[in-house]
Amino acid sequence: MLAVGDVAPDFSGKDQHGRDISLGSLLERGKLLLYFYPKDFTPVCTAQACTFRDATSELAELGTNVVGVSGDDADSHARFGSKHNVPFSLLSDPDHRIIEAYGATWLFGRIRRVTYVIGTDRKILGAFHHELSAAKHLKDAKRLLAP
């Protein structure tokens, strides 16, 4: 897992709408809450996406946009995003290139539930790991971003 103060690794990928997304383009809009999750449609991953979905406006008011990343393909992300009205990009990372660059793997290459808050200067402002609590990711991020 990356630490506070580390420089966020550059990345690019396709989201559930087929759009090309890169770290640079995301940071042009403000800070980034980048979260990694194991699998679409699983209970905790669904709760996590819905938690961030419900806080999207509040996070935007704090100058922060949200992006989720998992190893699922874009079609799975499209179905998942549509079913749960996810308003932010879900990046597909089937080869785990982004996931590994951000240290979001653990035993046997499984994806860890990790959330990073990244500043516009690409520095990691916060790094949170709570495997079974989706709500703690949001709580930690909001505490960090609060004025």
| Catalytically active residues, by annotation | 45
Q: What is the DSSP string of 65-133?
A: EEEEEESS-HHHHHHHHHHTT--SEEEE-TT-HHHHHTT-B-GGGPBP-EEEEE-TTSBEEEEEE-SS-
> What amino acid is encoded at 142 in this protein?
K
| CA–CA separation, 42 and 140 (whole Å) | 22
